[in-house]
Amino acid sequence: MSISTILVANRGEIALRVFSTAKNMGLRCVAVYSEADANSSFVTAADVAVHVPGYLESEAIIAAAAETGADAIHPGYGFLSENADFARAVIDAGLIWIGPSPEVIESMGDKIAAKKAAVDANVPILPSSNDPSAGDEVGYPLLVKAAAGGGGKGMHVVEASGDLSEAVASAQREALKAFGDDRVFLERYVPSSHHIEIQILGDSHGNLVHLGERECSIQRRHQKIIEEAPSPTIDSGLRASMAEAALSLARTIGYESTGTVEFLLDHDSKEFFFLEVNTRLQVEHPVTEETTGIDLVRQQILVAQGEAIECPQESISSFGHSIEARLYAEDPANNFLPAIGTVSAFQIPDSDNIRWDVGIGKGTEVGVQFDPMLAKVTSKGSTRREAALRLAKALEELHLGGITTNREFLVSTLRHEAFLAGDTTTDFIERHNPASNNFLTREEVSRAAAVAALWIQGENRAAALVLDQIPSGWRNSHFPDQLTSFTSGEEQFDVSYHSTRDGSFVLNEVDSNRVHRHSSTDIDVEIAGLRSTHVVTRSGNEVFVQMERGTAHLSLVPRFIPPGSNEVADGLVSPMPGVVLDIRVEVGDAVKTGQTLLVLEAMKMEHHINAAADGTVTEILVAVGQQIEQGVVMMVIDDGSEDKDD
């Protein structure tokens, strides 16, 4: 039952991750791709690729395997990775399924059935109910959770009984869209807790091991953004207890392949409770690989071939510390709402002990079709502090522009003294509120403007068609300095300069500035006595300059400013791209501050758009089912701030 060709039923960095191990094992790799991914790097990285209508089209994916001679399918994570029917269809087609059995996927994919299995294995669970109206029985605060879901989809915190019915209805809609199953259940919510998961690995020869734990407590919208191994929270005794509980459950259900048993650890009592079993490779698996040295994809492939895992329990040890950050196209300053756009600048720094799992590049279009994660960045260090600071530095040095991301938020979190001290509860963001916006100082942006001006003059000189041997800026009489202006945020930065006879530049009337080297992608400059090298990318009038603590985004001020557009007074604009799912008001309605006016769906999650002030609805400019972009005026609210009769 050996494998020679693997089809990966996934996309982006997930497909690239599986290809990496498969190719190292001498296996041929097949990609499937949708129209939106036609130009993505994972498509060309495969030995052969097949276009399919979508990543949930199981029949088309299995047909692609037959067409390309693939004998195995790896589902990656997300999409069909925990779909028992797809696993059965793969097996029925005579292909090797790289994952646990369909029966295990089915039992653990149903969160309600998984809780029952945990009880049978004597693993503690949180108070819960399958009755979505039994809030008083479970107790508040509670979570409404999708029975077939994960990743924060179909999950809502409810603080009081009056909010339960709305949360249940919203969770059911999200669950149906994301998982094709609208069942939800209620579970007690523990605000100050730790999210701990145990990596397990089993085979058909009776071997079952754990590879230690990961802590995934830094979350927003109940989705993980920073994960690490080992946990800074638990001691050796608690580690052993949680690992044994995970193995007990795995034995009960007959687990084979890689998987993760997730627990919630109460910060105060140190009691732990079963959450769920993920019957697939996890997004955060790199931190386990970095600390144990075990390639989890390799073990998956071996187990699928009927071989024994290569790591008996006594041989598994953890060394050092590893932390992973998920880089998302989202706006932390706007409640972490997804962002879209074009990646105009992208270059990974040459960083030691940093692992980049990336499926994007310069020119990648980030839309609303898929999860907004751009990359996983993982560090390794001999200590936790070293791993955190290395990761923060690598993120700062990443040359990235053109789209709003959570990069600065991640850096702020990783450098936060509370995080460095191991204070990593699930309410970390609410308690510590890490900085979410670009935090380059005015002085750093001013220097970036000077760098950009010198780089642009070098580009102009390199493109000169006449007198190209004359030094840049040379004049045979006195002329005013050349002037280049940029805006960054609300501020304008003017850079005046001229060259001198020795080839140096006078910048803003300060001399002794010099360009040591210039290329189309970077520049080595000395400004005000400080020499530094900067990666620079230009996209139209947008210029991105890599500084020590991040990427400065500058907009080149054109000679002639095009006329702008007028904003609609009192206009309620879309905070993100999405589909209008529900409109809760009509023209003429009086609304109160905080009242839900409409509901947008983006990334398979619902977002309630609320009134910022009391007022009256005078216009509704969108309709249910309409796809809208970020910044679109959706309705007009008269807040009575002006006397319209004057």
| Burial class of residue 192 in the structure, from the number of CB atoms within 10 Å of its CB (0-12 exposed, 13-18 middle, 19+ buried) | middle
Delineate the domains of the chain, giving CATH numbers in brackets.
5-98 (3.40.50.20), 107-126+203-319 (3.30.470.20), 128-188 (3.30.1490.20), 321-439 (3.30.470.20), 442-556 (3.30.700.40), 571-638 (2.40.50.100)
pTM: 0.85
Give the mean pLDDT of 181-191: 89
Q: Measure the N-to-C terminal CA separation of the chain; round to a whole number of Å.
A: 84
Contact in structure between 32 and 7 (CB atoms under 8 Å): yes
Query: Is residue 128's pLDDT more than 50?
Result: yes
Predicted confidence band of residue 474 (pLDDT cuts 50, 70, 90): low
Token pair of 157, please?
A: 């915190």
Separation of alpha carbons 372 and 332, rounded Å = 13
pLDDT in tens, 203-225: 999 999 999 999 999 999 889 99
pLDDT in tens, 438-458: 779 999 999 999 999 999 999
> Could you give the percent of the chain with pLDDT greater than 90?
74
Mutual orientation of helices 102-109 and 111-120 as an angle, nearest 10°?
100
Question: Would you state the pLDDT for residue 644?
Answer: 45
Query: Is residue 646's pLDDT more than 60?
Result: no
Question: Between β-strands 321-328 and 373-381, what pairing exists: parallel, antiparallel or unpaired?
Answer: antiparallel
Token pair of 40, please?
A: 């993505």
**What is the average pLDDT value for the chain, to the nearest integer?**
91
Q: Please give the radius of gyration of the chain, using alpha carbons only, rounded to the nearest integer.
A: 27
> 7 has which bridge partners?
30, 73
Name the residue type at position 181. D
| Residue of 387 and 435 predicted with greater confidence | 387
Question: Would you state the pLDDT for residue 113?
Answer: 86
Give the mean pLDDT of 301-314: 97
Query: Is residue 153's pLDDT more than 90?
Result: no
Name the residue type at position 155. M
